[in-house]
Amino acid sequence: MKREHLIKPLLNHHYPKISFGKGVFLYDDQGKAYLDASSGAVTAGIGHGVQEIIDAMQEQASKVSFVYRSQFTSEPAEELAKRLSDLAPGNDYWSFFVNSGSEATETAMKIAIQHWQEKGRPSKYKVLSRRMSYHGITLGALSMSGHFTRRRRFVPLLEDFPLVAPPYCYRCPMKLDPTACGQSCANDLETVIKRIGSEHIAAFIAEPIIGAAGGAVVPPDGYYERIMEICKRHEILFIADEVMTGIARTGTMFGMEHWGVQPDIIALGKGLSAGYTPMAATLAKDHVLEPILNGSKLVMSGHTYSANPLSAAVALAVLDYIEDQQLVKAAEDKGHYLRAALTKMSEGHEIIGDVRGKGLLAGLEFVADRQTKEPFPASKSLTTKLVERAFSKGLLIYPAAGGVDGEGDAIIIAPPFTISTEEIDLLVERLSEAITEVSQEVLGG
């Protein structure tokens, strides 16, 4: 075998080389086209090869690409912070720019801890999260994540942050009837707070809609109202991890807008620069920053590439493009079309247990038995088989864990907001073929 040097996700797997991308398609060096139904990792929200973004990159690169944030600020970084505050719920946010979703959630954790330290309450340092959650791969972010397969190898190094029940009505973690449960999963937050003591808790972090750890799981109405009420009463900051849901993905600029929530802190990534350059952000409300402004004045976090002018210019161009092309509305409208098509398709596939999501963040969960919702045994590797089969048909879909503790199978369908209805039809057609073939394989043997 030829000696290789690049560490890829699977070391012995062959990954095609991509030559270029245009719109919702990527083309490999053999000329094969892939319909990007997952926007990569739910990232390329405005599609590939958008000229306006390339122009903005060239313009900024010709001025300056890098300045060190401890020495200088830049026009694009200042403007992006202002723009995000104008867009975010309540319009009173500061931005701290980083380079990945993991850094954004980890910075959110550090700002929350520092907030309480500067208020003279250093014992408030734990961050609660949910059993079905993924907040990133770095050790702080993993400490706040309930994604068991990603945590397992590093458990001895992780902080012992408690997990609470997820709002997952399809398989209620409390084993209750969702129509008469009295928001038991939200109340679980209060149970855990009481057990630990709010004097030890800095924040609660949650994805508006559960992504990689669940497959576009949407909480029931009333859930976030209850969560916010509990957080407020116990003086716990609420961090919305909008890395996947933020920037138009769910048919609103921020996922939390669906429930009228103004998070104390917001983590953004992925769609912020739509994949054109690494860029992510932690937004914190005035009241969160105030004790730091009045205290040490230094937010104790940061990276060499933080607030990179080139990436900030790209993010601004992405926001312009989303506004000019009315892509927030497009994500909502196309989302309705996509979910209707997926629901119709599911009628012909017994192994589809649930179709869900909001905007262009759609999820499918797979079951061995629709009635009992029995998942397939892990040994069947259903999600992996499905992702591989779709890939061979030129369709990119995103694998997720299904089930409260990752014991099930789910996928995410999250194409760019620029996708046409004809392209959605093609997506569903290819997906349906892949599901038929994988069904035969897993049910037949």
Report strand pairing: 352-358 vs 408-413.
unpaired
161 lines the binding site for ligand PMP (CB under 6 A): no
Number of residue whose CB is nearest ligand PMP: 101
Nearest in space to 47 (alpha carbons), one of 310, 412, 355, 360: 360
**Percent helix, strand and coil across the chain, each rounded to 5?**
40, 20, 40
Q: Which of residues 185-214 bind ligand PMP (CB under 6 A)?
A: 207, 211-212
Nearer to ligand PMP, 215 or 269 (CB): 269
Q: Which of residues 290-319 bind ligand PMP (CB under 6 A)?
A: none
Nearer to ligand PMP, 314 or 428 (CB): 314
The DSSP output letter for 61 is H
Options 25, 94, 116, 134; binder of ligand PMP; rule CB under 6 A: 134
Nearest-approach distance from CB 250 to ligand PMP, in angstroms: 12
Options 27, 28, 41, 220; binder of ligand PMP; rule CB under 6 A: 41
Nearer to ligand PMP, 280 or 435 (CB): 280
Contact 189, 230 (CB under 8 A): yes
Contact 35, 396 (CB under 8 A): yes
Q: Which residues pair with 18 in a beta bridge?
A: 28
Nearer to ligand PMP, 214 or 309 (CB): 214
Provide the residue type at 101 as one letter: G
Contact 126, 162 (CB under 8 A): yes
Count of residues in contact with ligand PMP, rule CB under 6 A: 16
Which residues does 2 contact at the CB level (< 8 Å), separation at least 6?
none
Nearer to ligand PMP, 212 or 288 (CB): 212
Nearest-approach distance from CB 105 to ligand PMP, in angstroms: 5
Residues 347, 352, 356: CA angle, nearest 5 degrees: 95
Nearest-approach distance from CB 406 to ligand PMP, in angstroms: 14
Nearest-approach distance from CB 41 to ligand PMP, in angstroms: 6
Nearest-approach distance from CB 242 to ligand PMP, in angstroms: 8
Nearer to ligand PMP, 239 or 419 (CB): 239
Options 135, 356, 358, 380; binder of ligand PMP; rule CB under 6 A: 135
Q: Which of residues 44-103 bind ligand PMP (CB under 6 A)?
A: 100-102
Q: Which residues pair with 239 in a beta bridge?
A: 205, 265
Nearer to ligand PMP, 270 or 285 (CB): 270
CA–CA distance, 231 with 256 (Å, rounded to integer): 15
Nearer to ligand PMP, 255 or 353 (CB): 255
- Cβ atoms within 10 Å, residue 294: 10
Q: Which stretch binds ligand PMP (CB under 6 A): 128-136, 188-196, 215-223, 413-421?
A: 128-136
Options 38, 60, 95, 105; binder of ligand PMP; rule CB under 6 A: 105
Contact 363, 216 (CB under 8 A): yes
Nearer to ligand PMP, 145 or 183 (CB): 145
Options 21, 40, 76, 136; binder of ligand PMP; rule CB under 6 A: 136
Q: Which of residues 236-295 bind ligand PMP (CB under 6 A)?
A: 241, 243-244, 269
- Cβ atoms within 10 Å, residue 315: 31
CA–CA distance, 162 with 189 (Å, rounded to integer): 10
Contact 204, 238 (CB under 8 A): yes
CA–CA distance, 187 with 127 (Å, rounded to integer): 17
Residues 75, 268, 158: CA angle, nearest 5 degrees: 125
Nearest-approach distance from CB 104 to ligand PMP, in angstroms: 7
Report strand pairing: 265-268 vs 280-285.
antiparallel
Q: Which residues bind ligand PMP (CB under 6 A)?
A: 41, 100-102, 105, 134-137, 207, 211-212, 241, 243-244, 269
